[in-house]
Structures are given as C-alpha cells and as structure tokens.
C-alpha cells in the first residue's frame, strides 16, 4: 500500500513533467539569465528569459539537473509564465510560494490553480519545499538581473 501523501507528491503529472520537461535547454536570444542553486542537495538550475515590449515574457527556458519535484516545478513554471507580463509572473510566483507552504494562495487565478494544484502535495513534505521553489526564485533573480538565487 502506498502512502497517500506520497501518491499526492509524485502524481503522474509531476512525473511526466520531470521526465519530459517543457522548454528545456538554452534560449539563444535570452536577455535575462539566472542561476539557482539549492545548497542542500547541490542541484542547480538555469532559467533563460526573453522579455520583449511591454515587459512581456516572450519566451522562457530552463536547464539543469535536479529531483523530480524541482524539474517538474521548473517545467510547469515555464508553461505558465510564457506570454505573461513580468508583473503577472511575479504575482503568480507569490501565490505559488504560498501554495507549496500550505498558506493562502488566493493570488493564483482559477485557471492557473488548476495547473498548479498538483504541486500542493509538497505541503506535506516541508523538507522539499525548496525543491519546488528553486526555479521560481531563479526566474525572479534572472528578471532582477541580480545575484544567483538560492531557494529559501
């Protein structure tokens, strides 16, 4: 018998994203690049963005090696923020950070929530929250052009 919270954490959607990540690889015409590092496990992720007129994220990609949770989270993130404005992406990130910690995630709109709900299983695994948030922090640091992100 399988632990219910494990089933929740490793849903098929998550495993599919981690095995077949979307937007994986280098983005040749990126104008924002960020690097993230999870010092706990040594995982690294790089997020590339091309931000165009109106602060719109025209394209995004990521590369790196990591656990299923971090890879799936990065893959879903690229799916969701592509085509959005920076402000929208940051709002979504705020909601996501709340979601994985089991806090009020009402900042996430209903459509997005449908996609991101699969990540809510992380709530039951506090040690794994950083895995889920690494790519998002990395995207933020890329947009800010700042220091390498750490998943905190």
Partner 1 sequence: MTAQPKTIQAATFDPVLARADFPILSREVYGKPLVYLDNAASAQKPRQVLDAMERFATGEYANVHRGVHYLSAAATGRYEAARETVRKFLNAKHEDEIVFTKGGTEAINLVASSYLGPRIEAGDEIVLSVMEHHSNIVPWHFLRERHGAVLKWIDVADDGSLDAEAVAAAIGPKTKMVALTHMSNVLGTVTPLHEIIANAHTSGIPVLVDGCQGAVHELVDVQDLNVDFYVITGHKLYGPTGIGALYGKRVLLKGMRPYNGGGEMIREVTRDLVTYADPPMRFEAGTPPIIESVGLAAAIDYLSSFDREAVAAHEHRLLARATAALEDLNWVKIVGTTPGKGAILSFETEGMHAHDLATILDREGVAVRAGHHCAQPLMERFGVASTTRASFALYNTLDEVDVLIAALHKARKILG
Q: Which is nearer to partner 1, 41 or 120 (CB)?
A: 41
Residues 6 or more apart whose Cβ sits within 8 Å of residue 22? 75, 76, 78, 79
Cα 75 to Cα 11, 53, 58, 116, 147: the distances in Å are 15, 24, 16, 11, 22
**Rounded-to-integer distance, Cα 9 and Cα 88, Å:** 26
Q: If binding is defined by CB under 8 A, does position 110 make contact with partner 1?
A: no
Q: How far is the CB of 115 from partner 1 (least distance, A)?
A: 21
Q: Which stretch binds partner 1 (CB under 8 A): 39-47, 48-56, 105-113, 144-152?
A: 39-47
Per-residue CA distances from 121 to 91, 97, 149 (Å):
21, 13, 23
Binding track, positions 44-83, relative to partner 1; x by CB under 8 A: x--------------------xxxxx--------------
2 binding partner 1? (CB under 8 A): yes
Residues of this chain that interact with partner 1 (CB under 8 A) are 2-3, 5-6, 9-10, 15, 40-44, 65-69, 125, 127-128, 131
């Amino acid at each position: 018998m399988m632990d219910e919270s494990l089933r929740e954490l490793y849903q098929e959607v998550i495993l599919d994203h981690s095995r077949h990540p979307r937007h994986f690889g280098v983005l040749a015409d990126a104008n924002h690049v960020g690097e993230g590092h999870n010092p706990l496990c040594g995982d690294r992720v790089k997020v590339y963005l091309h931000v165009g007129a109106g602060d719109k994220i025209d394209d995004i990609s990521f590369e790196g090696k990591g656990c299923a949770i971090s890879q799936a989270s990065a893959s879903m993130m690229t799916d969701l923020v592509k085509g959005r404005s920076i402000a929208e992406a940051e709002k979504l990130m705020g909601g996501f950070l709340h979601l994985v910690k089991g806090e009020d995630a009402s900042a996430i709109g209903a459509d997005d929530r449908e996609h991101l709900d699969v990540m809510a299983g992380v709530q039951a695994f506090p040690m794994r929250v950083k895995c889920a948030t690494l790519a998002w922090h990395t995207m933020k640091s890329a947009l800010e052009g700042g220091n390498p992100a750490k998943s905190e």
